[in-house]
Every structure is written in C-alpha cells, then in structure tokens.
Amino acid sequence: AQTVTQSQPEMSVQEAETVTLSCTYDTSESDYYLFWYKQPPSRQMILVIRQEAYKQQNATENRFSVNFQKAAKSFSLKISDSQLGDAAMYFCASIQGAQKLVFGQGTRLTINP
Amino acid sequence: EAGVAQSPRYKIIEKRQSVAFWCNPISGHATLYWYQQILGQGPKLLIQFQNNGVVDDSQLPKDRFSAERLKGVDSTLKIQPAKLEDSAVYLCASSLEGWSGGGEFFGPGTRLTVL
C-alpha cells in the first residue's frame, strides 16, 4: 500500500524568506505522481505543484519548487520569497496507477511578518 | 471555468440524525471523489466514481454512508444515522482523467458537526 509521511506538523518562516516542507512516501510502483496541495483556512484545497515520477527534472511553479529524490522516496516543497498569503496547511499526496490519491498528515505553515 | 460546487457549506445535526451533501463537479470531469477530512488530518477517500459507476468505495462505512452519482454528473453523499465521529469536513473533488494523474480539483467542502 502506498503511504505518505509528513514529519513536520508545523513550520514557520519570516516573510520574504525561504522555507522547505518535507515529505517522504512509499510505493511499489515505478510510475506514479506526487503532488503538493495548499489548504488555506477557507479549506479550499488548491493544487500547488505536481511531479511525474518518470521525469528527472524537478517541477517548478513560480516561487514553488520541489526537490524530488526518487531513490530516497523524498519529495520536499521549497517556497521562496514567502508571502503572507502562503500561510496554510500543506499536504503532500501521491497516486500510483489507478489507485486513490493518498495524502500525508499535513504541515501547518505560518508566515511571520 | 466554474469550480467544484458543494452545498451546504455547514451543517449541524444531532447524533442518529440523517444528513445529505451535494456536489456538482467541473463540467466534463468524468471522475468524482468524496473525501472525509477529520480536523488535523489529511483527507481520506470515501468513494470514487467514474461517470456513474463506483471505482473504489473500500473505505466507505457502508452501514451508514451511501453515495450516488446519477447521470454521471452531480453526486450526493448521505449519512444515516450520524455518529459523533462523523464530525469532519467532507470534500468533493473531480478530475478530467480516469485517475488522478492530472490532479484533482476540490470543492470548498461541507463542515459537518454532529452533537
């Protein structure tokens, strides 16, 4: 069974600084997708970034980038130039084949002005 | 493009009562999901539909939960009777592809409080 683990329940960062959120996963498949979702207090889950396992290049979306270490089964999210609007719960998730999307426990990110 | 719509946004009921949630996915999305998110946890998939057929309902408590997706568009999730531990946010999501390789689009959720 696929599992996703986020070992940081809470993180905080100063505005304009860089923060990295950690995620590890376990899968028996060679073809899978990894995601980071953002969930603000309004609770609307928003896709931040996705990574295809077969791609070696790390995905990037503006200030958000990932460090995908396939051998180590690690998938961290780096947020550069943190903004107050980045404050939210962040969930790492994975899916393999036709199986369901599995989420980690989440990391609550606080941005300090 | 309109997003995933859910109603109601909030619901408070007493235990043993019944409740129903409604979801309207993004137009053209064949796959619809219902997730349960207990406070402080990540969402857990309850049921996945492909058009109007069930793909996965392995984690749906079938003795009290039911879901349907008539005509492959809107969906309803029902709880009957509700228990205290059903207090959670119920998220509906939809995706264009048959599985979530394209990423899922989530609705705002329905926050259920069971007293």
Residue of B nearest to A42 (CA): B108
The reply to whether residue B41 touches residue A105, judged by beta carbons under 8 angstroms, is yes
The reply to whether residue B42 touches residue A93, judged by beta carbons under 8 angstroms, is yes
Candidate from A52-56, A58-62, A96-100, B20-24 with smallest mean pLDDT: A96-100
What pLDDT does residue A106 have? 96
Structure tokens, B57: 């309902």
- Distances in Å between the Cα of A56 and the Cα atoms of A24, A79, B17, B37 are 17, 20, 51, 32
pLDDT at A96 over 80: no
pLDDT, tens digit (0-9, with 9 covering 90-100), for B65-113: 999 998 889 999 999 999 999 999 999 999 876 555 566 789 999 999 9
Task: Identify the burial level of A65 via C-beta atoms within 10 angstroms of its C-beta, where 0-12 means exposed, 13-18 middle and 19 or more buried.
Answer: middle
The answer to whether B54 contacts chain A (CB < 8 Å) is no
Q: Please indicate whether residue A49 or residue B2 has the higher confidence score (pLDDT).
A: A49
Q: Please indicate whether residue B96 or residue A18 has the higher confidence score (pLDDT).
A: A18
pLDDT, tens digit (0-9, with 9 covering 90-100), for A28-78: 888 888 999 999 987 788 999 999 988 889 999 999 999 999 999 999 999
Reported as a pLDDT band with limits 50, 70 and 90, residue A101 is confident
Reported as a pLDDT band with limits 50, 70 and 90, residue B2 is confident
Number of H helices, E strands in chain B: 0, 11
The reply to whether residue B100 touches residue A45, judged by beta carbons under 8 angstroms, is no
What pLDDT does residue A31 have? 83
Average pLDDT, chain B: 91
Q: Please indicate whether residue B39 or residue B1 has the higher confidence score (pLDDT).
A: B39
Distance CA B6, CA B107 (A): 6
